[in-house]
Structure 1
C-alpha cells in the first residue's frame, strides 16, 4: 500500500471489553460464553487496498464492523463472518475478503475471536 493511502485512512481497533455473539436460543439453558476481542496489534494484516477503495466509493465515514474470525492453531484464519455490518454491502464483502488473509498471533482462546474495526475516510 502506498504511503498516501496509509496516511489518509485511519483504522482504529476498539480494544476495550469483550465482544459477544448475537443472541440466539440457548441450547441447554446455559448462557453463551463471550468471545475474546482480538487486539489489532496481535494481527498480521494483508494490504487493505480493496477495503480502502470500497470505503472511498461508499462516501461514508466512521463505519464500524465486527468480524468473527475462526483460526487454526497457527493463527491462520479458516472462517470469517460479520457480526456487525458497516451497512454497505460492497464494503462488507471487501472486509470479509480481506479478513480471510489475516493471521492471528497468538491464536485466540478456542480458536475464535472478534476483530472490531472502525473505518474513517480521509479528510
Structure 2
C-alpha cells in the first residue's frame, strides 16, 4: 500500500513537472513570436489590423502569427500545438490562442498570463 502511494505521488509530481516544462516552452514560443511580429509590423500590430503587408508579402494577421510562432519553435501543425497546450494543462481559451492561427492582443495577453501562472 505504501509503495502505491509513493508511486501515485511520484506520478503526480512528474506530471506537474511536465506541465511546467510545457508551459515554459510555450511561453518562450509566444514571447519570441510576439517580438517578431512587432519587429516585422510595428509595435501596434495586434491592435485591430486583420491583414498585413510585410517582409513575407501580404498575409492575414493569423497567418503571420502562425508563421512566427512556428519559427519560434512551436509545432508546425495546429494539432501539434493543441497537443502541447493539452500537455501544459491550459484551459480551452488559452489553448485556442496558442493553437489556432488567430492573433489579437487580448488572446495573446491571456495566453501569456495563463502560461506565467505556474512560473
> What's the TM-score bracket when you normalise by the shorter of the two chains?
under 0.3
Which of the two has greater strand per residue? 1
Rg bigger for which structure?
2
Higher RCO (CA < 8 A, seq sep 6+): 1
So what's the TM-score if we normalise by structure 2?
0.26
